[in-house]
Amino acid sequence: MHDQIIAVPKNGKKTQAALSADLLRRSLQIEHDIHADTHEGYDLALVSVWAGLVVWCDGDWYW
């Protein structure tokens, strides 16, 4: 069997990357009426804005 790696911190708290990604998602929703999804794991977070348009975040930078 393969060992599984947990992508979410064991303490259940969101990482800085996830908090920053959620801030971007909420800003897009409130200010521009753009609906997006966030996904997190391995100390990175993604904001899925549109098909083929994904913003990566590490908690300090967006790219």
pLDDT attached to residue 15: 84
Question: According to the model, what pLDDT value does residue 13 have?
Answer: 67
Q: What is the amino acid identity at position 55?
A: V
Q: What is the pLDDT of residues 5-63, one digit of tens each?
A: 445 555 556 788 998 999 999 999 999 999 999 998 888 999 999 888 999 998 888 99
Longest Cα–Cα distance of the chain, Å, equals: 47
Q: Across the strands, what pairs with 53?
A: 50
First-residue to last-residue Cα distance in the chain: 35
Question: What type of residue sits at position 27?
Answer: S
pTM of the model: 0.73
Distance CA 18, CA 50 (A): 18
Can you read off the two tokens belonging to residue 58?
A: 């590490």
Which pLDDT belongs to residue 3?
52
